[in-house]
Amino acid sequence: MSKEDADLLDDHIAQLMEFFDSVQILASKCDNTGTSSTFRGAGNHYARMGMARELLTNDAADCHHIRAPKPPPDEDDEWKK
C-alpha cells in the first residue's frame, strides 16, 4: 500500500471517529502484481474485534442495518395515520 493510500485511510478514520466510538476499515486494492489488503482502525479494540468476528460469522442477511425512522404523517393526510 502506498503512503497516499495509508494517509487517505487515516484521514477517513479520523473523520469517522468524530461520530463513532470505534472504526474498523478493511480495504483491498488490485493491480497487475496481485491484490493487497490492509486493515486499519481506531477506538475500542474489543469493539473492533467484535465487529470483525460478527462480520465473519454472520451472513449478509443477518447484518445490522440502520434505517431512518418513518416520517410522521402529514396532518392533512388522515389516511396515512
- DSSP string covering 21-64, please? SEEEEEEEEEETTEEEEEEEEEE-HHHHHHHHHHHHHS-GGG--
pLDDT in tens, 29-81: 888 888 888 889 999 999 999 888 888 887 555 555 555 556 666 666 555 54
pTM of the predicted protein model:
0.63
| Dist CA 67 CA 65 (whole Å) | 6
Residue type at 67 in one-letter notation: R
d(CA 16, CA 20): 6
- The confidence band for 7, taking pLDDT boundaries of 50, 70 and 90, is very high
